[in-house]
Amino acid sequence: MISNKVMLEAAEKFGTPLFLYDIDKIRECYNSLFKFIPYKGLKIHYALKANYNIAILKALRDIGCGLDTVSPGEVALALQLGFKKEDIIYTANNMTDAEFAEVAATGVVMNIGELSRLEKTARNYPGSRICLRFNPDVKDGDNEKTMTAGDLTKFGILLDDVEKVVEIVRKGDLHVVGLHEHTGSGLQKAESVYQSMKNLMNIVTKERFPELEFLDFGGGFKVPYMPDEKRIDYVVMGREIVSIFEDFCKKYGRDLKMYFEPGKYMVAEAGHLLVEVNTIKKNRSRIIAGCNSGFPQLIRPVMYGAYHHIVNLSNPDGELQKYDICGNICETGDRFAEERMMPEIREYDILEIQNAGAYCYSMGGVYNLRPMPSEAVYADGELKLVRKAQSNAELASEIIASAL
């Protein structure tokens, strides 16, 4: 855990806004999964979309973690960083023929989630080794937008279509080595994980899929975002997962590998966005604390109404008051928190926005032409800057230089 003192030191040393990542915590999260899910064929593919910081990826590569990728760009980054193609899965949706060809040429396993793409694969790439993504038909997630199963999602092949799948696979002499499902992000109930696993397993027989090497149950493991939020009992959940899987393997007649591809679980809590308050303003009933970041740098509150806990590192014992914590973007909705009880916030105070490791920097942009913040890591007791923010002049030059 990074102490408040170290965070203030990082803000002082590297300036704000600053993303600070705790690499030890990320390693700990990865290792914890092997304790919680005691199955010898367990393999973890970190969902790279959650955070593509190079220091994080190198640390994960060095401890043997694989990657779940969703675009040719992510595949290229993974390969250039030295991840082996056997340790990468490609789960894109609505891919173009050109994207398919680009990734197929790398030898990374393609996870296919539409009958139409499966037909094209059978036609154009007969004999390929593939994985198939099914819609597990269980609705769960921390937000409507991040639920990826059920009637309203664009993801996965319907379980009811399994016979059609088998026919296309036979026609194209495809080798189905894996089956996949992903229920959603921030799964609220452990039962949803079990039910999705079972729904996928229910369509599997040795006759339909004789060449399976693994089943992949996606990501979605929840971490608390609110201070008093209950943590899922991962020991109990892991035991149940193993028991369900072992029963399945017995019926299938062979021990398969079990894959999970968590993003939030691996990196959310390890990330901290440090911002500085530059303006305190009373606006009738509201006190506004204006800071030097904004929603393009951490969009989850605006996009999903997500709660991110905020700590006033500079004045932790100040008198409690309600604040709207706003950014520096020209939109009224540019708020990290609304009517949030906080110890008194003063100009030049440093605030820590918690759980900023997953889907914050990676969903960021330079709206209003504010460069994305620098990124630093804390590892083995040391602070290190790993990416320096562009200056305003550099950002402007890049825009001008990119014009044809």
In whole angstroms, the minimum distance from the beta carbon of 83 to ligand LLP comes to 16
68 near 47, Cβ under 8 Å?
A: yes
- For 281-350, the DSSP string reads EEETTEEEEEES--TTTS-HHHHH-----EEETT-TTSPEEEEEEE-SSSSTT-EEEEEEEEE---TT-E
Check binding of 146 to ligand LLP (CB under 6 A): yes
Which of 113, 110, 94 is closest to 102 using CA atoms? 110
Options 249, 326, 330, 360, the catalytic residue:
330
Return the residue of 27, 264, 335, 370 that touches ligand LLP, per CB under 6 A: 264
Return the residue of 16, 53, 69, 91 that touches ligand LLP, per CB under 6 A: 91
Which of 47, 75, 204 is closest to 134 using CA atoms? 204
Check binding of 245 to ligand LLP (CB under 6 A): no
Written as one letter, the residue type at 303 is M
**Contacts (CB under 6 A) with ligand LLP, residues 5-34:** none
Q: What is the DSSP letter of 265?
A: H
CB atoms within 10 A of CB 344: 17
Which of 203, 155, 195 is closest to 176 using CA atoms? 203
Check binding of 136 to ligand LLP (CB under 6 A): no
CB atoms within 10 A of CB 332: 7
Check binding of 261 to ligand LLP (CB under 6 A): yes
Return the residue of 47, 103, 256, 298 that touches ligand LLP, per CB under 6 A: 47
10 Å CB burial of residue 364 (0-12, 13-18, 19+) is middle
Using CB under 6 A, count the residues that bind ligand LLP. 22
Check binding of 373 to ligand LLP (CB under 6 A): no
In whole angstroms, the minimum distance from the beta carbon of 360 to ligand LLP comes to 8
Check binding of 300 to ligand LLP (CB under 6 A): yes
Check binding of 372 to ligand LLP (CB under 6 A): no
Written as one letter, the residue type at 23 is I
Nearer to ligand LLP, 66 or 186 (CB): 186
Bridge partner list, 9: none
Return the residue of 55, 60, 66, 68 that touches ligand LLP, per CB under 6 A: 68
For 203-256, strand residue ranges (E) read 214-216
Sign of CA dihedral 242, 243, 249, 253: positive
Mapping DSSP to helix (H, G, I), strand (E, B) and coil, where does residue 90 land?
strand
Active site residue 330: yes
Nearer to ligand LLP, 218 or 296 (CB): 218
Give the contact letters, 311-350, x = binds to ligand LLP (CB under 6 A), - = no: ----------------------------------------
In whole angstroms, the minimum distance from the beta carbon of 25 to ligand LLP comes to 16
| H or E element that contains 384 | strand 382-387
Check binding of 262 to ligand LLP (CB under 6 A): yes
Stretch that binds ligand LLP, among 170-178, 181-189, 205-213, 279-287 (CB under 6 A): 181-189
Stretch that binds ligand LLP, among 157-165, 213-221, 235-243, 386-394 (CB under 6 A): 213-221
Calpha distance 150→166 (Å, rounded): 22
Residues in the chain: 404
**Residue entry with tokens 């290190």:** 384
Check binding of 113 to ligand LLP (CB under 6 A): no
Mapping DSSP to helix (H, G, I), strand (E, B) and coil, where does residue 177 land?
strand
Report the catalytic residues. 330
Residues forming the site for ligand LLP (CB under 6 A): 47, 50, 68, 91, 146, 148, 182, 185-186, 218-221, 261-265, 300, 304, 358-359
